[in-house]
Structure 1
Amino acid sequence: MHWVTIILIGIAANLDNLGIGLAYGVKQVKIPILSNAVIAIMSMIITYVAVTAGSTVVEYISPHTANLLGSLLLCVIGIWTLMSKNFSNQRIAGNPELFDEDKNLVISTREAMALGFILSANCLAGGIAIGANGISALWTVISIGVFSFITVGVGSRCGSLLSKTFIGKHSTAISGWLLIMIGIFEIFAK
């Protein structure tokens, strides 16, 4: 099993969530445990759909070709993340109140569903690449969910403290480089 890849994908797909959590923490917007769980579940659902779609690709091409394409896709997603600076998540980070519709400084479970859907965009393409590589859907989904819950929770609780750290300032770049490294690792892993 590709445990290192599964853990690194969980981390890479959720580093932006850390930045979003930090933005909410700085603005004193609370993300209760249930709302954080909803965000994690949304990421898990999107990841499962993506991994399943990626594994379907393997049925039509050779496993070696699927692994190569999946690995290259991870590298491309990493490069895109570095180049784009993840504009949609930066917009959320700059205006976390966008998802606090009732302006009560608490993200409700309903508001968390919308936020979770937006944050899970990172999981979509990565999930397809993971599925094409034949990596376990179940463990990838669990990894994404666990790290989503951790990064949003830590970010929102630590707010202003972590936003000044290297990880807080460079979460998008770290995520991009991690995806590129995972892609390269997977090319040579089989």
Structure 2
Amino acid sequence: MHWIAIILIGIAANLDNLGIGLAYGIKRVKIPVLSNAVIALISMIVTYAAVTAGSVVINFISPDFANLIGSLLLCAIGIWTLLSSRFSKQGILGNPEVFDEDKNYIISIREAMTLGFVLSANCLAGGIALGANGISAIWTVISIGIFSFITVGAGVHFGTLLTKTFIGKHSTAISGWLLILIAIIEIVS
């Protein structure tokens, strides 16, 4: 059952990345493969630190209680994501070139590092909750990295085509609902 959670958290944590990628694609700002890899790597590092911190919690409370707390935290993050969807990352979505400091319509590795830390915010709280649930740090990190790379790359590549789709318009809400679904799966299992 943890495999489902690992895959879903990889998707949920990166749906905003799809929206950001779409915004860059529409503005014709390119994110080269190496810059995209830097964004994914930063998300992986932040996730690993968060899952590890969450895993420490298990040492101080019972695994069942930690699982319940972690699941409730995921649910709360999902609800917060849904309620704050109007505000989260709106600045980047409305003006994605803000991270293109040299205004050359290409996100450099240095610019990708800053963008990576902003985009990895979703991974932080979710990673702590997953660590408290006892879910594998390594597989969670790999899932986050893979889906980060895919969603940013696909978003930039498909830009204007995907912006008009349901996923492009509602990526933050979908992310919130996925986090709530993961929490329910973890509570039930």
Q: Give the TM-score normalised by the residue count of structure 2.
A: 0.99
- Quote the offset at 1:68 in angstroms: 0.1
Partner amino acid for 1:184? Answer: I
Query: 2-side partners of 1:89 and 1:20: how far apart?
Result: 8
Query: 2-side partners of 1:86 and 1:152: how far apart?
Result: 20
Partner amino acid for 1:53? Answer: A
Partner of 1:91: 91
- Quote the offset at 1:2 in angstroms: 1.2
Partner amino acid for 2:37? Answer: A
Partner of 2:7: 7
Partner of 1:152: 152
Partner of 2:181: 181
Aligned length: 189
Partner amino acid for 1:166? Answer: F
Query: 1-side partners of 2:22 and 2:74: how far apart?
Result: 26
Partner amino acid for 1:115? Answer: L
- How do 1:106-125 residues align onto structure 2 when only pairs under 5 Å count? 106-125=106-125
Q: Which stretches of structure 1, 4 residues or longer, exceed 6 Å deviation after superposition? A: none
Gaps of 5+ in 1: none
Query: 1-side partners of 2:38 and 2:137: how far apart?
Result: 20
- Quote the offset at 1:36 in angstroms: 0.2
Query: 1-side partners of 2:19 and 2:61: how far apart?
Result: 38
Partner of 2:61: 61
The percentage of aligned residue pairs carrying the same residue is 77
2:22 aligned with 1:22:
yes
Superposed CA RMSD in Å reads 0.8
Partner amino acid for 1:70? Answer: G
- Quote the offset at 1:86 in angstroms: 6.1
Query: 1-side partners of 2:116 and 2:19: how far apart?
Result: 14
Gaps of 5+ in 2: none
